[in-house]
Amino acid sequence: MTILETIRQPRDLKGLSGAELGVLTEEIREFLVRAVSRTGGHLGPNLGVVELTIALHRAFDSPVDRILWDIGHQSYVHKLLTGRQDFSALRGKGGLSGYPAREESEHDVIENSHASTALGWADGLAKAREVKGERGHVVAVVGDGALTGGMAWEALNNIADAPDRPLIIVVNDNARSYAPTIGGLADHLATLRTTDGYERVLAWGKEVLRRTPVVGAPLYESLHGAKKGFKEAFAPQGLFEDLGLKYVGPVDGHDIGAVESALRRAKRFHGPVLVHCLTEKGRGYEPALTDELDRFHTIGVMDPATCAPLAAPGGRPWTSVFGEEIVRIGEERADVVALTAAMLHPLGLGAFAERFPDRVWDVGIAEQHAVTMAAGLATAGLHPVVALYATFLNRAFDQLLMDVALHRCGVTFVLDRAGVTGPDGASHNGVWDLSLLQVVPDLRIAVPRDAARLRAQLREAVAVDDAPTVVRFPKENVGPDIPALDRVGGMDVLHRAERARVLLVAVGVLAPVCLGAAELLAAGGTGCTVVDPRWVKPLDPALPQLASRHRLVAVVEDSSRTSGVGSAVAGALRDAGVDVPVRQFGIPDQFLPHAERGEVLADLGLTPVEIAGRISASLAVKDIDGTVKESE
């Protein structure tokens, strides 16, 4: 039996010797490479936090001490050390989540995988413990990237406002921007800075010197300045200490003893402390270390020896189609610029950045700033293209509404990973954008169904310079192009039958699903018209008249049914006085579990068979009493 297999809960770590801990780190890295290669997932970040996670669970007593993971993709080692070692279905249906999950373990707190939030959580938990008189520590583990987010600094400002409230912030810095401070002197200084005695001496000296006539105050300020300069020569703590946080580090994040010692010193200081750990993303796995782009941040199913993908190729990703087209547009229009929030390459802007390095900005994990900055760029005469994951647009809604839309700025938002994303789970599904954006005045939303439409509609979007536009597409490979048979107004007709009873409104990539449903309905004697509205906000004025020639309208969308496209279609028909029932197919008002995208869609009934069956049931009810009732 391996040492890892003997670890069922964090306290099992506390009796291990130094030699045993060294073996355990090797076992964990071997496990991660082998297991994550079979399922896909976040490999590089977890290889980098093996020693850090072990030290955390040796220094603290989870779950009495609350350990919070900001950007939970670095929590795989935490899962292994808290009794979850079956990674066979990681991120798959019925298996472990790729992020912390409360239903899995009492050791998990934050399920949200959006960055820069853990410090706000920690501040709230620490304050609640103070109010309730509870003991125990609150520890927030944040990456250096998370500190580029404004929420992190809002939280730090409030955390520092209570110098006697214990809260520990562990910065997992894998950017390799600082050299570690090594040696006994640095360790001694860190120990002094986090002891009660040191603080009492400082407070006593401050009072004595300031009460000394004439020379006291100037002498105190001189000595205090010398102390600050001396400390800053050894460690870059000045910024954090100026906020009121005690600083420990930098610490070698791959030295369990050094990290554990730093954490225990931080525990002894009864106030907010920041422990700065330097780690190496991809540690212990040479292919990750030689991948300078992202050090195997996320991998698919692959051979761990050769890193060759094992999944059968399934076509081109939507992201790559966008990446190619935005470069072409950039070559034609010098005013087109691009922005993103820490996702330059995942969002397909790498080629644009290489071709136009002075026309692209990665602002870090700061979606709000990206959107308001885009408003400024647009006001100055440029056309910004802001590329985000659809789920992260939620964070910048106010800026889109009040900075961009209110000022009628010509900004194009490209939303990747829209709709059901699958394995990344509840917080990464991009199913809320079409509902949120319906309320934004003058906004236009394009939902392309295939690569040809993405290219065309992206160009249509950037041609609008007096209002914001949105283009959204999913996390999957692009299927074959679906040509239109005809066009009604600005809508594409994809399927038409004689004496059609049903109008199927196919939103974006669910067009093939709707065509499949139409074939099944036709086989049962029900003719359908299938249209792709192309632009779902504003809806085409020709839609109500087309709907009036059918007995039932069904809207199929990969987004929330609440205030989504289906609701907009129903509203448009009411406004036009068209009394035709509308049946909505989409995402119910719930958070979705992690699974493959196709599995999630099937569970939600977004398949040709389910849609055709429910439409047939609705028509049968209408034939009996003249109305359409919702059938579950």
**What's the CATH number where 542 sits?**
3.40.50.920
Taking CB atoms within 8 Å and a gap of at least 24, the contacts of 606-609 are 606/510, 606/513, 606/556, 606/558, 607/513, 607/516, 608/513, 608/514, 608/516, 608/517, 608/519, 608/520, 609/517, 609/520
Indicate if the pLDDT at residue 406 is higher than 80: yes
**Residue 490 contacts residue 542 (beta carbons within 8 Å):** yes
Domain assignment present for residue 598? The answer is yes
- The answer to whether residues 429 and 571 belong to one domain is no
Query: DSSP labels for 81-117?
Result: HTT----TTTTSTTS--SS--TTT-TT-------TT-
The whole-angstrom separation of Cα 265 and Cα 26 is 27
- Catalytic residue flag (residue 281): yes
- The answer to whether residues 362 and 281 belong to one domain is no
The whole-angstrom separation of Cα 276 and Cα 168 is 11
Phi, then psi, of 337 in degrees rounded to 5: -125, 165
Q: What is the pLDDT of residue 234?
A: 41
Asked which of 472, 504, 536 is the last residue of a domain, the reply is 472
Q: What is the pLDDT of residue 399?
A: 97
DSSP for residue 427: G
Query: Which domain does 71 fall in, by range?
Result: 3-181+235-288
pTM for the whole structure: 0.85
CA 181 vs. chain centroid, Å, equals: 33
Residues contacting 225, CB < 8 A, separation 6+: none
CA angle 157, 168, 87 (to 5 degrees): 115
Indicate if the pLDDT at residue 172 is higher than 80: yes
- The answer to whether residues 465 and 497 belong to one domain is no
Q: What is the pLDDT of residue 216?
A: 57
395 is written with which tokens? 């964070």
Domain assignment present for residue 306? The answer is no
Q: What is the pLDDT of residue 164?
A: 80
The whole-angstrom separation of Cα 170 and Cα 188 is 19
Domain count, the chain: 3
Phi, then psi, of 49 in degrees rounded to 5: -115, 20
Q: What burial class does residue 321 get, using C-beta atoms within 10 Å of its C-beta: 0-12 exposed, 13-18 middle, 19+ buried?
A: buried
**Residue 518 contacts residue 504 (beta carbons within 8 Å):** yes
Indicate if the pLDDT at residue 138 is higher than 90: yes
- The answer to whether residues 81 and 152 belong to one domain is yes
- The answer to whether residues 455 and 505 belong to one domain is no
- Catalytic residue flag (residue 367): yes
The whole-angstrom separation of Cα 310 and Cα 36 is 13
Alpha-carbon separation of residue 213 from 208, 210, 225, 348 (angstroms): 10, 8, 20, 66
The whole-angstrom separation of Cα 553 and Cα 533 is 13
- Catalytic residue flag (residue 267): no
- Which of 229-233, 384-388, 581-585 has the least mean pLDDT? 229-233
DSSP for residue 441: T
CA distance between the termini of the chain: 51
- The answer to whether residues 144 and 253 belong to one domain is yes
Band (545; pLDDT cuts 50, 70, 90): very high
Q: Residue 247's domain is classified under what CATH number?
A: 3.40.50.970
Annotated catalytic residue within 66, 129, 265, 281: 281
Indicate if the pLDDT at residue 226 is higher than 70: no
Annotated catalytic residue within 58, 129, 395, 501: 395
Q: What is the pLDDT of residue 476?
A: 87
- The answer to whether residues 540 and 564 belong to one domain is yes
- The answer to whether residues 172 and 25 belong to one domain is yes
- The answer to whether residues 247 and 394 belong to one domain is no
Domain assignment present for residue 300? The answer is no
- Which of 216-230, 368-382, 483-497, 586-600 has the least mean pLDDT? 216-230
- The answer to whether residues 569 and 522 belong to one domain is yes
Domain assignment present for residue 297? The answer is no
For residues 70, 295, 600 and 588, what is the CA-based torsion angle, rounded to 10 degrees?
40
Give 407-416 pLDDT, tens digit per residue: 999 999 999 9
Domain assignment present for residue 350? The answer is yes
Domain assignment present for residue 219? The answer is no
Q: What is the pLDDT of residue 214?
A: 55
What one-letter code names the amino acid at 219? L
Annotated catalytic residue within 51, 367, 476, 557: 367
Q: What share of the chain is helix, strand, coil (3-state, %, to 5)?
A: 45, 15, 40
Q: Please name every residue paired with 336 in a beta bridge, in sequence order, or none if there are none.
A: 383
Q: What burial class does residue 629 get, using C-beta atoms within 10 Å of its C-beta: 0-12 exposed, 13-18 middle, 19+ buried?
A: exposed
Domain assignment present for residue 379? The answer is yes
- The answer to whether residues 442 and 499 belong to one domain is no
Q: Give 311-325 as a 3 state SS string.
A: CCCCCCEHHHHHHHH
Across residues 120-146, what is the average pLDDT? 92
Across residues 15-39, what is the average pLDDT? 94
Asked which of 272, 288, 304 is the last residue of a domain, the reply is 288
Indicate if the pLDDT at residue 507 is higher than 70: yes
Phi, then psi, of 128 in degrees rounded to 5: -65, -40
Band (424; pLDDT cuts 50, 70, 90): confident
Band (232; pLDDT cuts 50, 70, 90): very low
Asked which of 472, 501, 523 is the last residue of a domain, the reply is 472
- The answer to whether residues 464 and 493 belong to one domain is no
Domain assignment present for residue 402? The answer is yes
